[in-house]
Structure 1
């Protein structure tokens, strides 16, 4: 997959079958679009391409909104790269771009610059200044500009349309299993292991403190069963998101206890994949009660079927 962060550097090799959108999470709804895109590209001898935006348009339109994303840009690229996509276009969502009308975007970017011959959009996709671009506009322009357009229906789980917003909501409620079901994979967080207060090692549960990206969504405060990947090796783990209220902590931290693991991994980048929610953050009366709960969590983690 070739990645272009500057559309001006792209030279059309052959016409494109393309889909556009944020693709935050690259969830099962996105997968249905990508699968259709690849099928169409093969049938019509087109290159398969995705055009996405960075930063998220909501950061531009609502700069005070505390929006967290399911994927960092790197994670999104990794997830899309698992499919047989030829080109990924990363369009900077700046002032010039946000002021393009829907029709200008179709004419100047999709048709003139990218030579799109088949366009696939999601069931609720809108684009362009003042949301002036939609499926109806695409249908209107398609015959004049010589491209075909297809609108994909929503994918449902438990009679609910899958969306990035609903996945964020599930994660913030600690509903890991529903979030993972909608994503089609286990939600993950990655980051560098940094020094913490080292309280865990004094009670037999040394933890690795993970420094995460500020734009990445963290699930609800509490304890979780996780898969931990260190140096490409899998380990079982118990992860805590919270402020450590039992020891009067104030700063939010992400800490993981890795079962049967004693290596020094400071400054290593590790990935944790969320598998189940154990319990909400608890302030215990003392360290003895905390250790009792950790022992219970450890037993549940050891018996969990990964």
Structure 2
């Protein structure tokens, strides 16, 4: 997948234009935070149409997220980092990812201006594949009917994908964020088709875990990410392509009077030095909420119980 980030109102420069002369593209637009089941349904259709017509499959997404510009007073928290999103989009078969800077000027464009002066002008469109509830343009007044009105007279197809529902509710990024915030990481993972993950470098900690018999790897959760509530989770951690079952704590370690949110993971049946390596922690299920302990012995007993519960759950799920 080719990623285009150098982009202006005039479109692609000759050096980064991904569309050879005569090439057509089928295109989808969205933020694709999480690349969840609903997104995947749309992307499968996008790639299928592109392959059928010997065209390229293009995704347009925005940076920063439009909500960060439209509602700056409300902190916006992502399900995944941009690098994670790019990897997963590439795995779907998308050929080109165009990351368009989202500005107040872009937000103020009318539906007609966005479609004509942006999409039609800059992309060799053969067709648009779009979610049924997609809104765009100034004050979000544009809908799929505007795309159909403007594009179909020029022979550009507009295919509308109905929303995907599960358990009576639409699969959406906002629904998944709410599930993560509530600690329901298992259902969030079902809607994502993969576990919710936090990725980062392993940092040197205070090594309290090692002193009490439960060494941990420590990660500082990246800024701008939605996080599950403080507590303990069954997890699987990927380090250098190896998978390690374990148990993770996310929180501020009230027993030790700490304040910074940290992700601590005890890897089962592992000994070694992993400092500085990248770790990807997948949250499989919630085990318990955060608790304060009277002292190390009570903490050790709780970690032992948490580990046994996580081992049992992960074994059952793997079978």
User: TM-score range with shorter-chain normalisation?
Assistant: over 0.9
Q: What SS does the aligned partner of 1:64 have? A: coil
Following TM superposition, where does structure 1 have runs of at least 4 consecutive aligned residues deviating by more than 3 angstroms? none
Q: Secondary structure at the match of 1:8?
A: coil
Structure 1 residue 288: deviation in Å?
1.5
2:292 to 272, 283, 290: 283
Per-residue CA distance 1:174-213 (angstroms, 9 max, x = gap)? 1111101111111111001112232212211121110232
Q: Which residue of 2 aligns with 1:299?
A: 308
Which residue pairs with 1:8 in the alignment?
12
- Could you list the per-position Cα deviations for residues 129-157 of structure 1 after superposition, in whole angstroms to 9, with x for gaps in the alignment? 22132111112112333311111111111
CA distance in 2, matches of 1:167, 1:241: 19
- Structure 1 runs not aligned, ≥5 long: none
- Count of aligned positions: 306
Q: Match for 2:62 among 45, 53, 57?
A: 53
Report the more deviating stretch, 257-266 or 72-81.
257-266
Equivalent residue number for residue 79 of structure 1: 88
1:235 to 244, 266, 291: 244
Q: Which residue of 2 aligns with 1:164?
A: 173
Q: Unaligned stretches of 5+ in structure 2?
A: none
Which has the larger displacement, 191-200 or 237-246?
191-200
Q: 2: distance between equivalents of 1:231 and 1:139? A: 47
The aligned runs of 1:74-153 (5 Å cut-off) are: 74-153=83-162
CA–CA separation in structure 1 for the residues paired with 2:305 and 2:187: 24
* Structure 1 pair 101–284 and aligned structure 2 pair: CA distance change class (3 A): same
Q: TM-score, normalised by structure 2?
A: 0.92
Q: Secondary structure at the residue paired with 1:194?
A: coil
Displacement after TM superposition at 1:11 (Å) = 5.2
Conserved? CA contact 1:28–1:182, under 8 Å:
yes
CA distance in structure 2 between the partners assigned to 1:12 and 1:202 by the alignment: 58
Q: Give the 3-state SS of the residue equivalent to 2:61 in structure 1.
A: strand
Q: Secondary structure at the match of 1:136?
A: helix
